[in-house]
Amino acid sequence: MPEGAPLVSDAHQFAGLEGFLADRGTALLRTAVLLAGGREAGEDLLQLALERALRRWHRVDGDPEAYLRRTLYHLAVDRWRWRMRHPEVDLMADVADSGRDLAEQVDLRQALAQALALLPARQRAVLVLRYFEELTEAEIATALGCSAGAVKSAAARGLQRLRVVVASWEPGASFVGTGSASGPSAPWPSAPSAGR
Amino acid sequence: MTFDVEELLAAELDRRASKVTWHPALLDGALARHRQQNLRRRAAVGAATISLAAAVLAVAVAVAAAISSGRAASSRPSVQTLAYVVNRVRSALGAAGAEILEVHSRLSNGWSYTAWVDPAAGNLRIDTNPPGGSPVRYYASGSQVAIVKYETKTYSSEQVDVYALGQPPGWILFSLLGVSATWGDLGGSIPSAAAIRHQLDVGKFRLAGAETVNGQRLLHLRGVGKLPELRPVGGGYRAIDMWVDAATFLPVTSVTGGGPYAPRIESTFTWLRATPRNRAVLAPEVPTGFQSVSILPPGLTTQAPTPGDSASP
């Protein structure tokens, strides 16, 4: 059996699935990892969502990604609620950075990521969908099956908790942010004037 | 110092997500669990009517499913052959082709650079650090090239020929007329996902082993890459060591051996999503007060140099 190839019977039953996932699997997995707080948990979350989609594959009409994302978001919130009731689970166990990052002293980012992992289910999901997926409030509300008001308030409460973490950080702590040149930026500098 | 928590959060989410890519074993795991569920349902409904042959088959399938089910990370073959690893790396690079590749490189001739490659948009940015000199930034978008020189506080924006001298697909090579010496000093080309994939196709590699570096499990590929004829930089064969992440199979670092025409280059790779925020990194920025000049000496055209032109300044 060639590595990575689905079983013959599945290839027919779930026609198009392998190709769809080759195309969109990375995007889905990234969201799952961020929602779940780690790679292992994210892979489990996505596999669970896939399994549910497989049961209803013949009914998934037109947009499998939308179906998978909805399932992912709902599962993430459900599982998060379960995890918060079982606090002995180390939510950040598999989110450790590589030694290269630790050597770069990104403690503030690490603290931020840990604070994010400890947020209530909905607050965390809202922040991931807003700042990673870049969805609007209305889109997040549709995705999570709640009102726009609930999204707004979850985002505000989640950000407020993260601000507390950031505000308590000592000045002078090393932080690697996105680099940017000083000075104003222009899309493309205009060409030098003629006469060269 | 005040921090913008929303900016921090977005950057951190992006950074963490950039290390994650899809691998087909996840689907295999979901399919195996799906089959197990189906078998259980059928067994519960028709237990009394299952024939002996069907029962034997059900057990065989369940055993196979049990072996392959579970977390995707445990469903790799126990012995990772070269063919398996190369296939997975190619697959990962194929999926990463729509992303932005950030490369940090140090060269044995004293140069270093950071490059961002966005093949989907056709954009490129290189921040070069000449030995003992001030930074020079290059931006390319299609055939438009902008150069910002910090030593002279000048910038230029020109329409030049962006060309490939019979390059394999994915190499982004362009001639910066008037700065060909710099280009030679940079080793002649900047990698992209497709270019690295091409090296796996045309080069001869072997699986040199697995290593754990700073807690990250890496697979080491060693071989000889067939590099394109990079006139005036030269070309031919060059030793390549590449370390890929054992989970994502994306290249993490590489060392390209030097030769008579090119310096030894040590590079690290970061794969970024092509979000508007990340794409904005490749947009030219000109510091206030910099003067506009032309990079083309009078009389020179924007024609690409022909093979055989000298690299020396």
Q: Is the backbone peptide bond immediately before B307 cis, with ω within 30 degrees of 0?
A: no
Rounded to whole angstroms, how far apart are CA atoms A183 and A181? 6
DSSP structure class, residue A145: T
User: CA of A194 to nearest chain B CA: how many angstroms apart?
Assistant: 10
Residue B261, pLDDT score? 57
Q: Which residues contact B114 (CB under 8 A, 6 or more apart)?
A: B102, B103, B104, B105, B126, B127
Percent of chain B with pLDDT over 70: 63
**Residue A70: which residues within 8 A CB-CB, separation 6 or more?**
A143
Of A98 and B160, the one with more pLDDT: B160
Q: How many CB pairs under 8 A join A and B?
A: 194
Beta-strand ranges (E) seen in chain B are 100-107, 112-118, 123-129, 136-141, 144-149, 154-159, 204-213, 216-230, 234-245, 251-256, 265-272, 291-292
Contact by Cβ (8 Å): A129, A155: no
Least confident of A36-45, A140-149, B6-15, B51-60: B51-60
Q: Which residue of B has its CA nearest to A182?
A: B287
Distance of CA B145 to the CA centre of its chain: 22
Q: What is the pTM of this model?
A: 0.51
Amino acid at B293: V
Contacts of B65 in chain A (CB under 8 A): none
Q: Tell me which of A128 and A190 has the higher pLDDT.
A: A128
pLDDT band at A147 (very low <50, low <70, confident <90, very high): very high
Other C-beta atoms within 10 Å of B211: how many? 12
**How far is the C-alpha of A105 from the C-alpha of A23, rounded, in Å?**
35
Q: Which residue in B69, B123, B285 has the most chain A C-beta atoms within 10 A of its own C-beta, making it the best mutation to test that interface?
A: B285
Q: What angle do CA B241, B245, B247 make, to 5 degrees?
A: 150
Per-residue pLDDT tens over the stretch B212-242: 887 788 899 998 766 553 333 344 556 788 9
The answer, yes or no, to whether residue A93 has pLDDT greater than 70, is: no
- How does B157-181 read in b/e, with b if 16+ C-beta sit within 10 Å? bbebebeebebbebbbbbbbbbbbe
CB atoms within 10 A of CB B201: 11
The residue type at B294: S
Distance CA B224, CA B219 (A): 17
The token duo for B129 is: 């650090």
pLDDT of residue B166: 39
Residues written for chain B: 313
The whole-number pLDDT of residue B160 equals 60
CA distance A145 to chain B (A): 23
Task: Indicate the Cα dihedral angle B230, B236, B241, B243, nearest 10°.
Answer: 50
Question: Which of the two residues, B271 and B65, has the higher pLDDT score?
Answer: B271
Q: Which residue has the tokens 């796996």?
A: B200
Better-predicted residue by pLDDT, A41 or B75: A41
Long-range contacts (CB closer than 8 Å, 24 or more residues apart) made by B57-62: B61/B35, B62/B36
- pLDDT tens string A44-73: 889 889 988 888 877 776 678 888 888 888
Measured between its terminal Cα atoms, the distance across chain B in Å is 45
Residue B120, phi then psi, degrees to nearest 5: -65, -40
Structure tokens at A186: 């222009």
Instruction: Provide the pairing of β-strand B154-159 with B112-118.
Output: unpaired
Determine the average pLDDT of the residues in A73-98: 53
pLDDT band for position B300 (cuts 50, 70, 90): very low
With residue B34 as reference, give the H or E element that holds it: helix B25-46
pLDDT-based confidence at residue B143 (cuts at 50, 70, 90) = low
pLDDT given at position B59: 46
Beta bridge partners of B107: B265
pLDDT in tens, B145-184: 788 889 889 888 876 654 433 333 333 444 443 344 455 5
Residues of B in contact with A188 (CB under 8 A): 139, 141, 144, 146, 157, 284
**Contact check, Cβ <8 Å, B26/A25:** yes
> Would the CB atoms of A112 and B17 count as touching at under 8 Å?
no
The distance of B210 to chain A (nearest Cα, Å) reads 16
Residues of B (13-52) whose Cβ lies below 8 Å from A: 13-17, 20-31, 33-35, 37
Identify whether the C-beta of residue A35 lies closer than 8 Å to the C-beta of residue A124.
Answer: yes
Task: Give residue B76's Cα distance to chain centre.
Answer: 23
In terms of average pLDDT, the best of A8-17, B189-198, B245-254 is: B245-254
pLDDT of A151 over the 80 cut: yes
User: Which neighbouring-strand residues pair with B207?
Assistant: B221
Kindly tell me if the per-residue pLDDT of B284 is higher than 50: yes
The answer to whether the CB of A133 falls within 8 A of the CB of A125 is no
d(CA B280, CA A178): 11
Chain A: nearest CA to B95, how far in angstroms? 7
Distance (Å, whole) CA B200 – CA B94: 12
Distance in Å, alpha carbon of A70 to nearest chain B alpha carbon? 17
DSSP result, A43-81: HHHHHHHHHHHHHTGGG--S-HHHHHHHHHHHHHHHHHH
Q: Stretch B182-199: mean pLDDT, rounded?
A: 69
Q: Which of B30, B72, B216 sits opposite A98 (nearest CB)?
A: B216
User: Mutate which of A101, A188, A190 to disrupt the B interface (most B C-beta within 10 Å)?
Assistant: A188
**Inter-chain residue contact A188 with B247, CB threshold 8 Å:** no
The edge-to-edge listing of strands for the beta sheet with B100-107 is: B204-213, B216-230, B234-245, B251-256, B265-272, B100-107, B112-118, B123-129, B136-141, B144-149, B154-159, B291-292
Q: Would the CB atoms of A131 and B159 count as touching at under 8 Å?
A: no
| B35 contact residues in A (CB cutoff 8 A) | 10
Return the pLDDT at A119: 83
What's the angle, vertex CA B273, arms to CA B267 and CA B278, rounded to 5? 85
One-letter amino acid for residue B116 of the chain: W
> Which residue type sits at A54?
L
Instruction: Quickly state the pLDDT bin for A28 (edges 50, 70, 90).
Output: very high
Distance to chain A for B235, nearest Cα, Å:
33
Of B20, B28, B286, the CB nearest to A33: B20
**Percent of chain B residues past pLDDT 90, beyond the cut:** 8
By the CB < 8 Å criterion, does B84 face chain A? yes
Q: What is the pLDDT of residue A43?
A: 87
The DSSP bridge partners found for residue B210 are B219
Classified as helix, coil or strand, B243 is strand
